[in-house]
Amino acid sequence: MGEEVLDVFILDLSYEVVRSEPHIVIWGIDSSGNRVLLRDRSFRPYFYAVLEDDAPVEQVAEMIRRLSVPSSPITEVKPVDRKYYGRPVNVLRIQTVIPESVRDYREKVKGIAYVREVLEADIRFALRYMIDRETPPSTWHRFRVRKIPRSNEYRVSEEYEVLERIGYSDITKPPSMRSIAFDIEVYNPRGSPRAETDPVIIIGAMNDKGEKVQFLAEDPGPRDAKPLREFIEYVLNEDPDILFGYNSAYFDIPYLMERCKRYGLKFDIGRRRGAEPRPSVYGHYSIPGRLHVDLYDFAEEIHEIKIKSLDVVAEYFGIMSRSERTNIPWYEIARYWDDKSKRPILLRYSMEDVISTYGIGMKILPFAIQISSLTGLPLDQVGSASVGHRLEWYLMREAYRYGELVPNREERPYEPYKGAVVLEPKPGVHENIAVMDFSSMYPNIMIKYNIGPDTYIDNEEECGEDGCWKAPEVGYLFRKSPPGFYKRVLETLLKLRRSIRDEMKKYDPDSIEYRILDERQKALKILANAAYGYMGWVGARWYFKQGAEAVTAWGRATIKRAIEIAKSMGLEVIYGDTDSLFIKYSKGLAEEFAERISRELEMEIKIDKIYRKVFFTEAKKRYVGLTENGGIDIVGFEAVRGDWSELAKEIQEEVARIILGTNDVSKAIEYVRSVVKNLEAGKIPMEKLVIWKTITRPLDEYEATAPHVRAAKILLSRGGRIAIGDKIGYVIVRGAGRISDRAMPYTFVDPKDIDPSYYIDHQVIPAALRILEYFGVTERTLRSGSRSRSLFDYSR
DNA sequence: TCGTGGCGGGG
DNA sequence: GTGTACGCCACGA
């Protein structure tokens, strides 16, 4: 069969060893919409040995060659030009055949004389290929290929052998990918379900044409062999590129697999016949040839959402509001199944979960595609990889382009260092305040001062002709030139982002082109902003503590200098944190200030927002602002924290609103008193009294029994399951003893047992007082209806 | 009464 | 398996 040129959008890359030869396997979609498999036999695993400067290179190479074993011969050992932390090094590239053998060779090479370090032996083979051949997934590429006879092994339309990767294709829009969302319900008459004993009762799914299906267990039983078979068949018929689930890596997939195992059924839903899903890196479950995307991972990153349940997240994305959907508590599911009159409600509930999952998938997908194509992470691993790992994949790609060797992962002890400055706020209500933010302060500091492990030097003599930057306070020195690794990477990211934002102007904001570009510029910003934190992370390959310390030191110096400039211009500074300054706004002057900063500090500062009023207490990181359009911004206070009851939060927000909106303190006092009365009369619904806190470690590792720990223990003793990261919702009930002795999971509490005095003393009054205290209001005033002091006295 | 453990949100 | 700074609760000595 002849050669041809093929444009392919890469879904995923993996490898197989076929008759002692490694094959890179590329799963993709071609420009005609065929699902294809490309096989590249030309790539071989390798790693590097860095030698001492005075090493006899050829002799060392010969010794390494002698390590060769027949099962995976060493095919090449040769000196290559590479840099390590910016410096050219004496380095041998060692190539073999079988990827798994790299680990053995690495250990043996380490023991050879003159070998200082072994590098890049811990980079997985498929990633190695993606970097070296520049084949990031979620991108269109052009290959020269030869069609090969279709084997029966893969569920694809065509198979090809790669002769050459020509480059990127000129297609830029992602192809239309077939996607399905799925969700299961399981039978759990005894509380928490266990896959060994409790069958699946509903498997629901939906595709991109809007077609919905439900596979149901059979009565009596319930027996689930049939729905399991039907679901497998469904997936194979639909042949989706993407499967969206919600918490599917931790629940649905392993559960379905365990159920299949009980019937001797293969959960064979991938594009490679007979291959079941398997646990992979970062807690992900991978399905061969398809992209299994667990949307829960993305929800975890949304800090505005406290409870990451599917209904809450779907509401957040505007897919389905919680009030208009069917909600069944998890412990009621078996009952709804058993009761034939209620079963339709359960079916509706299940389908709404599927629709929600699909909707979230569609919202997340454009962003995930951009992160995938930039970092090289397969789309299905974008969610499960941490921020640090995402950036690291990007850095590895860049390092290769620069001829830079990748440092090894190392175990290091945690080392704390000094962070940013936070100014003491001026307490009180201030009018007309501009919040000014330095744009991307840390990335710009890293660029400006060329900070990184490769530009760092020990003493001034080594500064060279161009000289050094010296970090304030810590005194670390960084060569001004040439540009270091971090600087080059960040400049590339920011330049790319600027050009994309320029290009966006050409398009209608509603167009698909605009949306794609917008997601891409967001992804670039996220990667740039992660660089500083990454550098200070002990687990990072490019970890560099002095660099992270220097960044925060220059950050502190920059903001301090900006304050001096502001003061010299007669601008009053109310507050500041890390990269922001709150200044008294006067038109013209703030703009002039921004100009001077840009001239003198070579950093951009911009007006982020203007508050008609802003209120501070003595506390840092807490304020309330009244925006120009009359909205209220609450920062740091209890009202925006997840670990206070809804009631306390509501009251604090309302108090803030009354004070900033009307200046009427007496009105706020009256409001608080009325809530106290309602509480005493038992008129507040229990949901508003629940306090949510996270379990962060195994229960027996807690030093003291905090209320949420105690509530978790009760939950456990009653058959519930507790995992690290779970949020525990509890209320305080009447009785004697410590608060923790009276903390109960709210699901077990009769509302009349709730202790109103706890909520008055520990929730409502403190939350209200946090703001009202500044206006001279005391606890007594809020508690008593009696007028020890006329309300009139508070009108300021 | 006070030091400490614990937690969350924010720039 | 990004960073540090900060406020405030409840526990328990």
Reduce the secondary structure of A596-664 to three states and give it as a string.
HHHHHHCCCEEEEEEEEEEEECCCCCCEEEEECCCCEEEECCHHHCCCCCHHHHHHHHHHHHHHHHHCE
Q: Beta carbon of A308 within 7 Å of strand C?
A: no
Q: Beta carbon of A20 within 7 Å of strand B?
A: no
Cβ atoms A657, A625 nearer than 8 A: no
Question: Which nucleotide lies nearest residue A392, CA to C1'?
Answer: C2
Helices A387-402 and A343-375 pack at an angle, to 10 degrees, of 30
Measuring CA to CA, how many Å separate A616 from each of A4, A584, A636, A638? 69, 14, 11, 14
Q: Which of residues 735-794 of A touch strand C (CB under 7 A)?
A: 738-741, 762, 766, 770
Cβ atoms A381, A287 nearer than 8 A: no
Residues in chain A, total: 796
List the structure tokens of A232: 């497998």
Q: Beta carbon of A419 within 7 Å of strand B?
A: yes
Distance CA A708 to C1' B2 in A: 23
CA distance A607 to A620: 21
CA distance A470 to A459: 11
Question: Which nucleotide lies nearest residue A636, CA to C1'?
Answer: B9
**Using CA of residue A120, residue A126, residue A132, residue A137, what is the dihedral sign?**
negative
Cβ atoms A205, A234 nearer than 8 A: yes
- What per-residue confidence (pLDDT) applies to A464? 86
Q: Beta carbon of A768 within 7 Å of strand B?
A: no
Closest listed residue to residue A27, CA positions, set A122, A126, A132: A126
- Report which residue is nearest nucleotide C11 when distances run from CA to C1': A704
- What per-residue confidence (pLDDT) applies to A181? 97
Question: Which nucleotide lies nearest residue A702, CA to C1'?
Answer: B5
Q: Beta carbon of A724 within 7 Å of strand C?
A: no
Cβ atoms A679, A651 nearer than 8 A: no
What region does A678 belong to: left with phi over 0, alpha with psi -120 to 50, or beta?
alpha
- Counts of helices then strands in chain A (DSSP H, E): 22, 28
Distance CA A645 to C1' C6 in A: 21
CA distance A603 to A596: 10
CB contact set of A307 (below 8 Å; sequence gap of 6+)? A692, A727
- What per-residue confidence (pLDDT) applies to A306? 63
What region does A217 belong to: left with phi over 0, alpha with psi -120 to 50, or beta?
beta
Distance CA A260 to C1' B11 in A: 49
DSSP lists the bridge partners of residue A202 as A185, A216
CA distance A448 to A469: 9
Distance CA A539 to C1' C3 in A: 12
Closest listed residue to residue A284, CA positions, set A368, A384, A378, A393: A384
Task: Give the β-pairing of A3-18 and A212-216.
Answer: unpaired
Edge-to-edge strand ranges of the sheet holding A743-745? A691-694, A727-732, A743-745
Amino acid at A117: E
The H or E element that residue A520 is part of is helix A512-535
Q: Which of residues 690-749 of A touch strand B (CB under 7 A)?
A: 692-697, 701-704, 706, 708-709, 727
- What per-residue confidence (pLDDT) applies to A130? 98
Task: Please name the residue that has the structure tokens 């300054």.
Answer: A581
CA dihedral A130, A131, A135, A139 (to 10 degrees): 110
Low-confidence ranges of chain A (pLDDT < 50): 786-788, 795-796
- What per-residue confidence (pLDDT) applies to A309? 83
Question: Which nucleotide lies nearest residue A386, CA to C1'?
Answer: C1
Q: Beta carbon of A422 within 7 Å of strand C?
A: yes
Distance CA A730 to C1' B11 in A: 31
pTM: predicted TM-score of the whole model, two decimal places: 0.92
- Please report which residue ranges of A223-331 form alpha helices under DSSP H: 225-238, 252-262, 296-300, 310-316
E-assigned strands of A523-604?
573-577, 580-584
